[in-house]
Every structure is written in structure tokens, then in C-alpha cells.
């Protein structure tokens, strides 16, 4: 029997799952990859074996209880060093119109199958006091997901299932990590019938980058990982927003027919870009500059009112241009919206601080209900349009007493 560590990856025939398997194969693991399509599994296995790994396949519909039990049975008692519960499907569209049987299968695969396989494999890990589990959730787990209501619900479940399980196992040698990718270049949107949505044709992350982030976090024993800097910012902002505002953001990405619509700045679709609106600047900027670092932190106080504080460091010689652009945007939006300016701008040499603060939750809600954030999203793109403008971004989420 091989002395190499052994990993099991479900949904391992394509997309993020295949790239996760590749990470294991190139880092000295043997593999069992599982998915429904045998042909795709065989193609993936041939590819993975080129790295020197022993790769077995298991073709089965893991939405079925007997199929999950069968997958576990193929292990024949072999110790699993790493389990990646990655198999999943999605479906877009209005809940009243989507196919019920597809949604029930989604729940069975994304949730029931994940729970069953995790429990079966985890018992042996705990006996050995060693093992690593990676659950693929989604950044969709940070917000309500209109037009993906069932899919989003399954990803919320996986997020908190993983976090809870990690806590239960904190005194053991077993770790649980939750992977929370954003839009990724896979077949997901085509299979979910979402190519007519804004999310369908939108720029997406490379699944290899997503998988490496997940693998690195798993090996480091981290609780969760949101791959890429722009997605860390997006997730942080989504957690900051009221649920109804975050739901409206997601609607703008997932509503059928939205791919052909232009943003209407009089509607609060874009409020999710920011609790202050300038967070939208990050969305456009990170898409253009994915290599920039983002350092996320936070402090807590006694109040429920929250604020977003962004620090930008301009590149040498670009300070005046950045300051002019930022100040012009803020002044324009203040003038057009005609509300109290809950946000401001400070400069210290080449560093710029964009900040917001609300005296209470009611003031924050009132600001978000207006069109200021939408206007800021629409008009702040110019700040980061040039790849030479910004050297560094720091984002701090705070609660204010």
C-alpha cells in the first residue's frame, strides 16, 4: 500500500474540484476523485496521473444516500488524510418557476450528501486524531440570494456547518476549513441556466487560483478562505450591509434578463458596493488590479452602527490626480443626492482616507435607502481605471459607539 498521504475530492472531474485535485496531486498526495460522469472522471484522472500521483475514480450520483455509502465503501478502511466536499449544483430563476425536482436534488447533493460523507469519513479521522476537511461553500453564503434561493441556502448551510464542526473539533487533531469562492470560470452558470444574468457573462476568477487558495488554507488549518483580494472586500461589504440591501445587490447579478440591462443610478441596486458607496470603487478597481493586497481587520464596540474605513496609498506622482478624482466624486454625489455627507476624505502626504460614520443605525439605513451609493458606484471607476494610480488598499470594518 502507498505511503503517500491520501485525499478524496468530490466534484473532482472539472472546475474547482479538478483544480483542488491537481493541488493535492502536485503536493505528494494520492487521490480518489468522485463525480457523476465517468468519462469526465477518466479524462481528469489521466491528466492528474501525469504528476506521479495514483488516482482512482468513483462515478456515482452523490445526491443519493446509497451512492454516498458506496463511495465510502470503496475506501476499504484506507485512512483519508484530506476530504474535499466540493460536489454541488446550482439553479437560477424565480422560485415559483424553477423545477422542484432539480431543487430537491440540489439539496440532496449540496447538503444531505455533504453531511453524510463528512460524518462517515470524520469518524475515522477522529479515531486517528488527524485529518483535514474542506467544505466548498460560496461568497453567496454572506448574503440572501434572490433567483438562487435554494442554491444560496445550501451554501449558507455549508458555511455554518463547517464553522460549527470546526468548533466542535477544536481540541482534536482534525481541522475544518470553509472555501468561499465568488464568480469562477467553470460550467456552473451554463448548467444553472444563468447565462442571461449579469453574473453569467461577467469576468470570473480562475479556478486554479481559487483552488490554490483553498488548498493553502486547508494545509494551514484556517477556518475559512475567500479567494482573491477583490472577493475579500466584497464579502466584507456584504457582511456590513443590512440583509435587504445585500439581497438587492445579489438580485442585480442573478435576475433573469439582467445581462442586457444598464445600471439605473436612481435605484438602490448598487448600494451593496458600499456601506458608504465608495466601496463600489473597490469593485471596479479590484477587477482591474487583482494583484493588489487587501488587509481586512475589524474592531467592535457597544453599538450596532457600523462603518467602513478605506485607506488608499497613491503611487508616486499620482497624488494630486487621485485626490482630485476622489474629491470630485464625493462632491458631485453630495450635491446630487442632497443628503447629509456621512462620508469624507482626508489626505496625509500620499495616503488618502475615505471614511463614513453614522451616529446610529437609523442614520445608516436612511443613507443606504438613497441613491448616493449607486451614483458613487457609477462614477468612481475613474479612480482606479489607470493601473498606475493606486499602490495599496486597506479596508477596516468597525462598529461605533
Residue 292: pLDDT band (50, 70, 90) is very low
CATH number of 6-227: 3.40.50.720
Nearest one of 401, 169, 158 to 301, comparing CA atoms:
401
Active site residue 318: no
Predicted local distance difference test score (pLDDT) of residue 288: 35
d(CA 204, CA 289): 13
d(CA 34, CA 58): 5
Output DSSP code: residue 315.
P
Single out the catalytic residue among 151, 230, 306, 371.
151
Q: Where are the alpha helices (DSSP H) in 6-148?
A: 15-26, 38-49, 65-74, 100-107, 114-128
Q: Tens digits of per-residue pLDDT, 166-212?
A: 999 999 999 999 999 999 999 999 999 999 998 899 888 899 999 99
pTM: 0.72
CATH number of 231-399: 3.30.70.100
Residue 365: pLDDT band (50, 70, 90) is low
Predicted local distance difference test score (pLDDT) of residue 223: 96
Single out the catalytic residue among 155, 230, 232, 306.
155
- For all residues of the chain together, what is the average pLDDT? 79
Predicted local distance difference test score (pLDDT) of residue 348: 85
340-350 average pLDDT score:
70
Sequence ranges of the domains in the chain:
6-227, 231-399
Residue 176 phi/psi, 5-degree rounding, is -125, 130
Of 5-9, 28-32, 181-185, least confident by mean pLDDT is 181-185
Compute the Cα dihedral for 25, 27, 28, 33 and give only its sign: negative
Q: Tell me the C-alpha to C-alpha distance, in Å, between residue 41 and each of 22, 123, 324.
A: 13, 27, 55
Predicted local distance difference test score (pLDDT) of residue 392: 52
Q: In what order do the strands lie in the sheet with 6-10?
A: 55-59, 30-35, 6-10, 82-85, 131-136, 174-179, 224-225
Q: Tens digits of per-residue pLDDT, 131-144?
A: 999 999 999 998 89
Q: Tens digits of per-residue pLDDT, 212-238?
A: 999 999 999 999 999 976 677 667 667
Active site residue 155: yes
Amino acid at each position: 500500500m502507498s505511503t503517500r498521504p491520501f485525499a478524496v475530492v468530490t466534484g473532482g472531474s472539472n472546475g474547482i474540484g479538478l483544480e483542488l485535485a491537481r493541488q493535492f496531486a502536485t503536493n505528494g498526495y494520492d487521490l480518489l476523485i468522485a463525480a457523476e460522469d465517468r468519462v469526465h472522471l477518466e479524462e481528469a484522472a489521466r491528466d492528474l496521473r501525469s504528476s506521479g500521483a495514483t488516482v482512482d475514480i468513483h462515478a456515482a450520483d452523490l445526491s443519493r444516500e446509497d451512492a454516498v455509502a458506496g463511495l465510502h465503501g470503496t475506501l476499504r478502511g484506507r485512512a483519508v488524510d484530506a476530504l474535499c466536499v466540493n460536489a454541488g449544483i446550482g439553479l437560477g430563476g424565480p422560485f415559483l418557476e424553477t423545477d422542484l425536482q432539480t431543487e430537491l436534488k440540489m439539496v440532496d447533493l449540496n447538503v444531505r450528501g455533504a453531511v453524510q460523507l463528512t460524518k462517515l469519513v470524520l469518524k475515522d479521522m477522529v479515531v486517528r486524531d488527524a485529518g483535514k476537511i474542506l467544505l466548498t461553500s460560496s461568497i453567496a453564503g454572506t448574503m440572501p440570494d434572490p433567483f438562487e434561493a435554494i442554491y444560496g441556502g445550501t451554501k449558507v448551510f455549508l458555511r455554518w456547518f463547517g464553522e460549527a464542526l470546526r468548533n466542535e473539533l477544536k481540541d482534536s487533531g482534525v481541522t475544518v476549513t470553509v472555501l468561499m469562492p465568488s464568480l469562477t470560470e467553470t460550467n456552473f452558470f451554463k448548467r444553472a441556466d444563468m447565462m442571461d444574468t449579469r453574473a453569467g457573462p461577467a469576468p470570473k476568477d480562475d479556478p486554479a487560483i481559487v483552488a490554490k487558495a483553498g488548498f493553502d488554507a486547508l494545509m494551514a488549518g484556517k477556518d475559512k478562505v475567500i479567494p482573491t483580494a477583490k472577493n475579500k472586500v466584497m464579502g466584507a461589504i456584504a457582511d456590513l450591509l443590512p440583509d435587504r440591501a445585500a439581497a438587492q445587490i445579489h438580485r442585480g447579478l442573478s435576475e433573469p434578463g439582467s445581462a442586457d440591462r444598464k445600471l439605473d443610478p436612481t435605484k438602490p441596486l448598487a448600494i451593496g458596493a458600499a456601506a458608504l458607496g465608495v466601496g463600489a470603487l473597490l469593485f471596479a478597481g479590484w477587477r482591474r488590479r487583482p494583484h493588489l493586497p487587501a488587509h481586512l481587520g475589524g474592531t467592535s464596540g457597544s453599538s450596532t452602527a457600523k462603518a467602513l474605513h478605506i485607506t488608499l496609498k497613491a503611487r508616486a506622482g499620482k497624488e494630486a490626480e487621485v485626490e482630485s478624482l476622489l474629491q470630485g466624486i464625493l462632491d458631485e454625489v453630495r450635491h446630487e443626492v442632497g443628503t447629509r455627507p456621512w462620508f469624507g476624505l482626508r489626505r496625509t502626504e500620499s495616503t488618502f482616507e475615505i471614511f463614513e460614520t453614522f451616529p446610529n443605525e437609523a442614520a445608516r439605513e436612511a443613507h443606504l435607502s438613497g441613491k448616493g451609493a449607486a451614483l458613487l458606484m457609477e462614477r468612481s471607476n475613474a479612480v482606479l481605471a489607470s493601473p498606475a494610480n493606486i499602490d495599496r488598499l486597506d479596508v477596516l470594518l468597525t462598529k461605533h459607539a
